[in-house]
Chain A
Amino acid sequence: MEIDAIIGLILLLGSVSVLTVLTLWSRKRIDRIAEKKSASARELMQEMKNGGK
């Protein structure tokens, strides 16, 4: 297999993985934030820090 194809496949799988992980991670965050009462960025970051991601 040519070197371009190997690099290309790694980039392809990498970018699709990043896309999937970020979408799922963001979804989890949105659902967690929706359950909280406080909602300013500072408060949310503090609560996330205390309660994990």
Chain B
Amino acid sequence: MAENRPEVSSELSRELNLFHVCMMGIGMMIGAGVFVGIGLCMSKAGPGGLLLTFALNGMIALFSAMSFAELASAIPRAGGAYNFARIAFGRSASFISGWMEWLAASAAGAFYALVLTRYTLDFVARLGVIQPLPEHHLTWLLRIVAALAALGFAYVNFKGSSETGKLGAIFTVGQMVFVLAIGIIGTIVFFFDPSRIENFEPFLGNGSWIKLLGSMGIIYVAFEGFEVIAQAGDETIDPKRNIPKAILYSVFIVTITYLLVAFGTICAVKAGHPALKGMSVADFIGSKKEVGFQAAVDVLMKGWGGFMVTLAVIFSATSALNATIYSATRTSFALGRDRMLPAFFSKIHSRTRTPFLALAVTMLLVLSIVFVIPDIEAAGATTSIMFLLLFLMVNLCVIRVRYRMADELEYGYLMPLFPLFPILAIITQLFMGVGVFGESRMAIYIALGWVSAGFVAWKLYAKHHAVATEDEIHVFEERVSEDSQGSDKFKVMVAMANPRNALQMVGTTYKIGRAREAQVELLHMVPVPKQVALTDAERFMVAGKEAMMETMLYLQPMFTVNTTIRYCRSIARGIVSAAREKDVDLLVMGWHGRHRATHFALGRTVDPIVERAHCDVLILKGNCNQKFHKVLVPLAGGQNGSLAVQTAVLMADPKDGEVTVLTVDTGHGEFDAEAFLTSVGLETDVRVRTKTVRSRHVVEAILEESEDYGLVIAGCTRRKLLYQVTHGSIPEELARRCEKPMIMVNANRGITSLVKRWL
């Protein structure tokens, strides 16, 4: 009865507009990071270096934000590095991303817990309730209170309560108003007393440009948070437009706000003020390190500033701590759900409906960091380095996804000058990582240790237990012949996307397979529309299965034949993936010969396969399942020429067949066909001759010549598809207009193809 139950689809109501999602990102970024960062950066890079740290970090964060925005606009339901990596690179990269995201969020949780506790205890000490805390060391009291605070928020997460976007927006506006007020007051003070510009001398303080790099790396955590916007796709009105906009706006607004606050803080204190005790303003703020901002505002607002900063930090760190624990738990839950971590990670509490065991293990991780890390700076650096690695991965993902899935995804945003900014982001993030190494080796060791542990966990556990997700291609049915086990025979894969044309490929497969003593892989891809769940795919496979059985009847007496039926969302991706898995040498597929989409040379299925397949490809048009006495091979050089001639020789009738290699002399230098044939070194009984015709119109000349032939074989264009779109290509135009049976060939070009495929 259960099978007949009608399915009811459900989705979250879309209530968040651009302002709400923008505030969500700003709220995650503006917080403890900037309050702690001002003093820390001042101590390393001086007053000018502080402004540069925020400006350069903002620019680099925007490069990564553009990658997030593009991916989130195309894959709105799959926000986060973990899901992006799975779509772009597969399971292993996805696991490592999720593993890094887990530590990044947990380290951020530990960082916010320590900052929250530090400011709170500092405030209590000012009231005289406890002894003043030592300035730069974490005492056991501080660690224990931070651990209790983290546990408190773990309980809040366990109960399942969290801020909604609208309530979060109100908190964020409050924080921004406070931060902007400090910036504006400091700037007004500067305009009334321009001599405070001297506070910026020396520009880099006691630091250097190298120290600036370390300062940028350590405080990059203040720009972490915009990525949460990518996960709000389900709740956002017009997500394809609003999500990318919100990601970019939030980074822009936050950077300008940080610059204003940093400027205001430096100008807040007048040189020679008694509170400085003879130090320069930069040295005074820098000497206070993580509470430097509080000390400067205290001087500016005469005692009230410290109180207000403490309140602001408590509010911002509270909301950030809650969000990071939630984020770390959700990541480990996702890893457990996909069985990359043990299944208990995905266990949901029956009453609160929260992943309580994932939360418990996450809290162990947070508490470990709280008790192991030497100081707040190292906690911030660990968080920053993990997010640097994560953002690096997302920048790789955006390049990979744009090249691999450009035809499948519907984009709401395409970054300009692609792939310049992801590449710049990767390079600058690597440099910042080196900078962090100079400032906090502990952070680098923790990061490297965690990533290494991730690789071990992948090899020993995740690799063997991971389950397929909706985004992956599923094997539906597979039959492997016993003869093929461990065989090193030449492998020919016949891809039957359209079962009605399957028999037309038998003849070609037979001729090539016999010549190469090949093993045949029959593949049928079952395309399942997006509207249909993959679990219902079985109903689409009946016709393909019948065609496959019929094809087997012809091929099995001669060859070892394996069969595979798979279902997928994209036929092209499915075929390329299967060819790679089976490690085939030659892929044979059919083409209907119709041309609908103006942006493709041969079609939205064939073009990506020709671009990405790691093996030689033959594309058959028309009925090639017959004897051919005369075969025409138009040639103009190129690396497909050799494969085209070799295929022609196999396709021609062995008794009285003839292959003609045709060159068209357009007056721009004639191609030497004879020399080319000598270099190919054919060993065949089939007669091969060359012919040259003079014409300025290559396609017209070949079409006219092809009238006398039974089969035409041509190489695919070697140019990039975008070039083809703008300029057109001779072989593809020929393929579209030729009325004779035709075979398009595309040869695998070793390392060149490898680089192109990877991209």
Contact = CB atoms under 8 A, between A and B. Distances in A.
Contacts of A53: 416
B414 interface: yes
B245 A45 contact: no
A17 B508 CA distance: 60
Given A11-B55, A23-B62, A45-B722, A40 B203 contact: no
Given A26-B69, A30-B412, A11 B406 contact: no
9 contacts: A2-B203, A8-B204, A16-B55, A16-B259, A19-B251, A26-B244, A40-B408, A42-B406, A44-B414
A26 B721 CA distance: 25
A26 B415 contact: yes
A29 to B, nearest CB: 6
Given A4-B209, A8-B203, A42-B722, 14 more contacts: A2-B201, A4-B204, A5-B200, A8-B48, A16-B256, A16-B259, A22-B62, A22-B416, A29-B413, A29-B414, A33-B411, A40-B407, A42-B721, A53-B416
Interface string A38-50: 0111111110110
Contacts of B55: 11-12, 15-16, 19
A46 to B, nearest CB: 5
B249 A23 contact: yes
A19 B66 CA distance: 11
Q: Is the interface of B mostly helix, strand, loop or mixed?
A: helix
B323 to A, nearest CB: 24
B410 A39 contact: yes
Contacts of B245: 26-27, 30
B252 interface: yes
Nearest to A11: B52
B203 A41 contact: no
A49 B202 CA distance: 48
Interface of B: 48-49, 51-52, 55-56, 58-59, 62, 66, 69, 73-74, 200-204, 209, 238, 240-241, 244-245, 248-249, 251-252, 255-256, 259, 402, 406-416, 421, 599-600, 721-722, 725-726
A46 B599 contact: yes
A41 B406 contact: yes
Contacts of B66: 22, 26
B48 A19 contact: no
B726 A49 contact: yes
Contacts of A2: 201-203
B252 A45 contact: no
Contacts of A39: 410-412
Nearest to B240: A34
Contact of B56 (A5, A11, A22, A33): A11
Top-7 shortest CB links A-B: A41-B406, A39-B410, A5-B203, A15-B59, A15-B55, A4-B203, A23-B252
Contact of A44 (B200, B411, B725): B411
Contacts of A34: 238, 240-241, 412
Nearest to B421: A22
A42 B413 contact: no
Contacts of B204: 4, 8
A15 B414 contact: no
